C-alpha cells in the first residue's frame, strides 16, 4: 500500500499542473480580448471658446465595433457626440453665445441643442429629437444663423439640391420645427415639416 502513495502524489501533481496551465491559457485569452481595442484621444479643434477632442476606438476583433466621437469641452464641462466639423459651433449675433448640437447622427431621436453664453457660462439645452440640425456646421458656412429676432433664432443649411431650415425659441427652450426641401426623383422635391424636430411615425 505504501508503494502506491508516490504514484497518487504524482497524479495529484499532474492534475494540478493541468489546472495551472488551463488557468494560464484562459487568463491569456481574456487579456487578449481586453486588449483587442486601441483607444486614442487627439485635439480636433481649439479656440478661446471651446476645445474639441477626437476620441477614436479601434476594435481589432470586430472592425464594425470600431467608432469615433467628438467631445466638446467648454467652461469645464464636456459634451459628448458633438455634431458637425470645426469649429463645431455657430456664433449667435448680439448674444455673446454659441450654439452647438450633440447626439448621434446615425440614430433617431438623439439631437440636443445647446446655447452657451461664453462670458457668463449660462447654458440652456433642449431636445431636437430626429432633426438634422448641427450636422453641417463647419467653417464652410453651409449651416449658419439666418436671423435672430429677440429670442427667436432661425438656422439654415443650403445645398445645391436641398435646403433645411430650423426654428428655435430660446426663451421657451424649444426646437419649434424643421422645414426641408429634398429631392425625390429628377425634377421632383419633397417638402416636409417636423414639429419639434420629430419625424412623423404615424
Residue 85 has pLDDT above 60, yes or no: yes
Helix-then-strand count for the chain, H and E: 1, 13
pLDDT per residue over 99-138, tens digit each?
999 998 877 789 999 999 999 999 999 999 999 999 999 9
Quote the pLDDT of residue 194: 96
| Residue 51: Cβ-neighbour burial (10 angstroms; 0-12, 13-18, 19+) | middle
**What is the end-to-end Cα distance of the chain in Å, rounded?**
84
Q: What is the pTM of this model?
A: 0.77
Tally of CB atoms within 10 A around 59:
14
Quote the pLDDT of residue 169: 98
Q: Strand, coil or helix: what is 10?
A: helix
C-alpha count within 13 angstroms, C-beta hemisphere, residue 170: 20
Tally of CB atoms within 10 A around 103:
24
Length, in residues, of the chain: 202
Cα dist. 154→90, 110, 145, 148, 176 in Å? 12, 20, 6, 7, 10
Amino acid at each position: 500500500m505504501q508503494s502506491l502513495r508516490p504514484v497518487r502524489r504524482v497524479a495529484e501533481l499532474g492534475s494540478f499542473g493541468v489546472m495551472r496551465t488551463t488557468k494560464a491559457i484562459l487568463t491569456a485569452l481574456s487579456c487578449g480580448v481586453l486588449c483587442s481595442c486601441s483607444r486614442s484621444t487627439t485635439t480636433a479643434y481649439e479656440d478661446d471658446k471651446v476645445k474639441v477632442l477626437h476620441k477614436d476606438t479601434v476594435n481589432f476583433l470586430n472592425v464594425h465595433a470600431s467608432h469615433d466621437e467628438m467631445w466638446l469641452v467648454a467652461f469645464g464641462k464636456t459634451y459628448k457626440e458633438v455634431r458637425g466639423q470645426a469649429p463645431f459651433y455657430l456664433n449667435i449675433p448680439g448674444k455673446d453665445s454659441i450654439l452647438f448640437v450633440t447626439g448621434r447622427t446615425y440614430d433617431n431621436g438623439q439631437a440636443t441643442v445647446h446655447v452657451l453664453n461664453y462670458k457668463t457660462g449660462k447654458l440652456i439645452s433642449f431636445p431636437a429629437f430626429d432633426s438634422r440640425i448641427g450636422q453641417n456646421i463647419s467653417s464652410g458656412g453651409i449651416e449658419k444663423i439666418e436671423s435672430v429676432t429677440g429670442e427667436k433664432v432661425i438656422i439654415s443649411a443650403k445645398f445645391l439640391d436641398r435646403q433645411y431650415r430650423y426654428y428655435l425659441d430660446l426663451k421657451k427652450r424649444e426646437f419649434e420645427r424643421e422645414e426641408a426641401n429634398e429631392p425625390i426623383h429628377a425634377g421632383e422635391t419633397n417638402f416636409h415639416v417636423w414639429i419639434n424636430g420629430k419625424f412623423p411615425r404615424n
